[in-house]
A and B are shown apart, each in its own frame.
Chain A
């Protein structure tokens, strides 16, 4: 048995560094300044103190501003002090240098959109092509790069992100990055120098000539296309090449043309007995549950399922690396069980899957809108509104995106995603 002396803190270092403390302090100052600006200035009406009070506020504000400048607060700029905007390259590569010493090299035909630029974060979207980031270490900002099926977070390193068909590839030259995405193994992977990961296109867009590139030891998974008829395999037996029970959802899909779809195992069991797939799911063996069900099994099981079963089916599909199969059960919850308190959350999940994992922005927009209509909990409403703007913009519905952006601003005038929302509708 493990042994640990208490208090455990005696075995630990603090883990706190000056850069983090300074970063947090700047955030505290910024937010308090915003609160001060909003607060009604009632003391201005105090008898005999108006002019002196105003002078004191101006002096304090100027001092605060000086301190903020000295400490380097504020958005990142290009090296020539221009405000950062969309970065593109034509037929030839292009290089962009930043005021903090960082640099981005764009390959030919690349486009990098700015999503958020603040004192503690710098977020971009690689809309097309390839970009190599050389992020200066020791800076106050956490850099993130969105790239459709995955996102990358770094603090100081050199790495390359590239769009590959409908998927994406990340290669790290030095430093450490975190790669996140619904189709990434365990939904987050840590890559160090010399490592790479590639997330292929969603199942319907697989190219038989695209080889997988991955350094993590993940067993290959043969992907069954959703439209393929079920194979005549004995129920309960996984077809050849299907995910091994117990394996986590894979981030790499094999492109074998001989992939055999899983059998259409029925989700029903003798009355009073829990179906096999449900037992496996309750043990967190989602790959095993998916192998028992198969894609046709999920769709058919969703036909007359309860909300509990529908959500469980969606989890099995998502967590075993088959997000497309989660659409049917989530849609049923959203449409046929709208009164259930979980319906808004199901709609929100459907929106995220559609946008991030499946590349279906129009479907995502409909789902986010429905989630908001059904009454999403407060903590997720802001995210839903922001993603609605993004989804409509990516679907080409510019008027709809602007309308959603207006709603976002009305509901969240100081929202943390305001800059991102404005950029999606080019209103910054």
Chain B
């Protein structure tokens, strides 16, 4: 499918907006303390959790899903689910891993929906957050083209393989973290990554690739 990066050309800078920052002036709190306060009903703690982790969650979902609107929806779902079920988090210190796991399940859900809509031939939206479109300034055109190839290969992978491989080789997560985020055993995570790597290596050489 043709990727269509959406470049937002703004005619004027955005207007100034009043922004309420909760808990201003307090020292940064640890995750465990924030979770405890959020479970106690503190909206300020919830927002601090959101501000701390939403950028990473949204960025991950954009790279996984390749579409900003899908990524924003999935991020919203992730945090609604997290806040509604926060009391079930047994280890508040593992908040980041827990959020990633919810985010990955939301991504998986959207891949399933895309597959269903694709089977019907219904349009499923444009990919406006591909790896190629997210490339940093100063990266050469050749490298951009290489990333476009990687985008194309990743788009053909089954969702579980794509997710595991992206976590490992795009995000740079350790294998244990990949397994935790995917909700599977370490062996299963390795197997998925290896299967995906076989497809990727047929067209893209990875510099710095270690074990799967």
- Contact (Cβ within 8 A) B11 A70: no
- Contact (Cβ within 8 A) A28 B80: yes
- Contact (Cβ within 8 A) B55 A21: yes
Q: Return the chain B residue nearest A352 by Cβ.
A: B122
Kindly specify which of A4-12, A207-215, A272-280, A289-297 makes contact with the partner chain. Answer: A4-12
Q: Which residues of A contact B15 (CB under 8 A)?
A: 101, 138
Given contacts A3-B204, A28-B79, A175-B11, contact A9 B170 (CB under 8 A): yes
Given contacts A1-B205, A137-B14, A188-B123, contact A9 B116 (CB under 8 A): no
Q: Which residues of A contact B14 (CB under 8 A)?
A: 19, 137-138
Give complex CA distance A187, B117 in Å: 13
Question: Binary interface profile of A, 291-311, with partner B (CB < 8 Å = 1, else 0)?
Answer: 000000000000000000000
Given contacts A23-B72, A28-B83, contact A6 B58 (CB under 8 A): no
Q: Which residues of B contact A200 (CB under 8 A)?
A: none
Q: Is B31 an interface residue (CB 8 A)?
A: no
- Contact (Cβ within 8 A) B171 A4: no
Q: Which residues of A contact B5 (CB under 8 A)?
A: 190
Give complex CA distance A22, B120 in Å: 34
Q: Which residues of A contact B129 (CB under 8 A)?
A: 15
Q: Is A13 an interface residue (CB 8 A)?
A: yes
Q: Which residues of B contact A24 (CB under 8 A)?
A: 54, 58, 72, 75-76, 79
Q: Which residues of A contact B58 (CB under 8 A)?
A: 16, 20-21, 24
Q: Which residues of A contact B41 (CB under 8 A)?
A: 60
Q: Is A31 an interface residue (CB 8 A)?
A: yes
Q: Is B137 an interface residue (CB 8 A)?
A: yes
CB contact list, B66-121 vs A, under 8 A: 68-69, 72, 75-76, 79-80, 83-84, 113, 116, 119-121
CB contact list, A1-45 vs B, under 8 A: 1-16, 19-25, 27-28, 31-32, 35
- Contact (Cβ within 8 A) B47 A25: yes
Q: Is A155 an interface residue (CB 8 A)?
A: yes
Q: Return the chain A residue nearest B8 by Cβ.
A: A155
- Contact (Cβ within 8 A) A137 B6: no
Question: Binary interface profile of A, 40-76, with partner B (CB < 8 Å = 1, else 0)?
Answer: 0000000000000000000010011001001110000
Q: Which residues of B contact A319 (CB under 8 A)?
A: 121
The contact of B55 among A6, A14, A70, by CB within 8 Å, is A14
Q: Return the chain B residue nearest A181 by Cβ.
A: B123
Separation in Å of the A401 CB from the closest CB of chain B? Answer: 23
Give complex CA distance A181, B126 in Å: 12
Q: Is A377 an interface residue (CB 8 A)?
A: yes
Interface size on A, residues (CB 8 A): 68
Separation in Å of the A281 CB from the closest CB of chain B? Answer: 12
- Contact (Cβ within 8 A) A156 B143: no
Separation in Å of the A141 CB from the closest CB of chain B? Answer: 12
Q: Is A423 an interface residue (CB 8 A)?
A: no
Question: Binary interface profile of A, 319-349, with partner B (CB < 8 Å = 1, else 0)?
Answer: 1000000000000000000000000010011
The contact of A137 among B11, B113, B172, by CB within 8 Å, is B11
- Contact (Cβ within 8 A) A2 B13: no
The contact of A8 among B43, B84, B137, B147, by CB within 8 Å, is B147
Q: Is B198 an interface residue (CB 8 A)?
A: no
CB contact list, A137-167 vs B, under 8 A: 137-138, 142, 155-158
- Contact (Cβ within 8 A) B150 A2: yes
- Contact (Cβ within 8 A) B136 A5: no
Q: Is B209 an interface residue (CB 8 A)?
A: yes
- Contact (Cβ within 8 A) A32 B150: no
The contact of B206 among A4, A21, A28, A63, by CB within 8 Å, is A4
- Contact (Cβ within 8 A) A1 B121: no
Given contacts A3-B204, A71-B20, A180-B123, contact A20 B72 (CB under 8 A): yes
- Contact (Cβ within 8 A) A7 B50: no
Q: Return the chain B residue nearest A68 by Cβ.
A: B20
- Contact (Cβ within 8 A) A377 B171: no
Q: Return the chain B residue nearest A66 by Cβ.
A: B20
Q: Which residues of B contact A19 (CB under 8 A)?
A: 14
Separation in Å of the B93 CB from the closest CB of chain A? Answer: 23
Give complex CA distance A187, B121 in Å: 10
Given contacts A12-B136, A190-B6, contact A21 B59 (CB under 8 A): no
Give complex CA distance A192, B121 in Å: 26
**18 other A-B residue contacts (CB within 8 Å) besides A142-B69, A178-B4, A187-B123:** A2-B204, A3-B206, A6-B172, A7-B208, A15-B68, A27-B72, A27-B76, A28-B76, A28-B83, A35-B84, A71-B17, A71-B18, A155-B8, A156-B11, A176-B7, A190-B126, A348-B120, A377-B116
Q: Which residues of A contact B (CB under 8 A)?
A: 1-16, 19-25, 27-28, 31-32, 35, 60, 63-64, 67, 70-72, 101, 137-138, 142, 155-158, 174-176, 178, 180-182, 186-190, 192-193, 314-315, 318-319, 345, 348-349, 352, 377, 379-380
The 3 tightest CB contacts between A and B, nearest first, are A138-B14, A7-B172, A2-B146
Q: Which residues of B contact A (CB under 8 A)?
A: 1-2, 4-15, 17-20, 41, 43, 47, 50-51, 54-55, 58-59, 62-63, 68-69, 72, 75-76, 79-80, 83-84, 113, 116, 119-123, 125-126, 129, 131, 133-137, 139, 143, 145-147, 149-150, 169-172, 203-209
